[in-house]
């Protein structure tokens, strides 16, 4: 049994990745020693993450995606944010116009659950821009004020046109992504 780490994601256009990555680098400059900015090639919208899944079991997801009849759709990327004001582990871009993302998520949810995906109580579509390494108590308020200052920031509107199944291999502590499957939207 070949167990892998994998996730199902909505691909972002290159222009969106470039804008998000450059914005994160510039915006997070004052706290750059405390964060690890996500590599531009790894920016995406995660639908489901599988810590351990049999590679052949992902065929069930592929079959569902093959049957999915959906047009490309637009999303608006707005503001820097964090999930939890207490923990401060992830900095992400908020997404507006999430109806189509939620439709795809709900369509795949029963099968993803059966395959032991990491299911959150509430799914919040987002794009992880950086991971926080460490924020000491003295820098916490500075960090939170930087995030709050950018909560009205707008990255732009982009078209999503593909869903992927991606294997994530950890090499020297860094993820390496291998595309296993791609579903282009009409």
Give all domains of the chain, ordered by start, each with its CATH number.
Answer: 3-184 (3.90.1140.10)
Write the DSSP assignment of 14-64 as a string of letters: HHHHHHHHHHHHHHTGGGGGGEEEPPGGG--EEEEEEEEEEGGGGHHHHHH
Express each pLDDT in 112-161 by its tens digit.
Answer: 999 999 998 889 999 999 998 887 777 777 777 777 777 777 899 999 99
Q: Give pLDDT < 70 ranges for the chain.
A: 1, 84-87
Q: What are phi and psi of 51, to 5 degrees?
A: -65, -45
Q: What are phi and psi of 89, to 5 degrees?
A: -105, -30
What is the reported pLDDT for 38? 95
Provide the whole-model pTM: 0.91
Task: Determine the Cα–Cα distance for residues 57 and 169; give it in Å rounded to an integer.
Answer: 18
């Amino acid at each position: 049994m070949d167990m892998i780490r994998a996730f199902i994601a909505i691909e972002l256009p290159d222009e969106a990745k470039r804008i998000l990555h450059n914005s994160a680098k510039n915006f997070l400059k004052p706290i750059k020693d405390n964060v690890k900015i996500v590599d531009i090639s790894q920016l995406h919208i995660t639908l489901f993450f599988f810590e351990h899944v049999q590679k052949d079991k992902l065929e069930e997801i592929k079959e569902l995606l093959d049957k999915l009849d959906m047009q490309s759709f637009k999303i608006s990327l707005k503001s820097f944010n964090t999930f939890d004001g207490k923990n401060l582990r992830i900095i992400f871009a908020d997404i507006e116009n999430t109806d189509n993302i939620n439709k795809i998520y709900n369509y795949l949810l029963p099968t993803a659950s059966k395959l032991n995906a990491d299911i959150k109580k509430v799914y919040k579509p987002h794009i992880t821009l950086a991971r926080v390494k460490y924020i000491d108590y003295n820098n916490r308020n500075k960090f939170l004020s930087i995030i709050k200052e950018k909560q009205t920031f707008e990255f732009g509107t982009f078209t999503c046109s593909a869903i992927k199944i991606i294997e994530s291999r950890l090499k020297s502590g860094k993820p390496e992504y291998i595309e296993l499957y791609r579903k282009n939207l009409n």
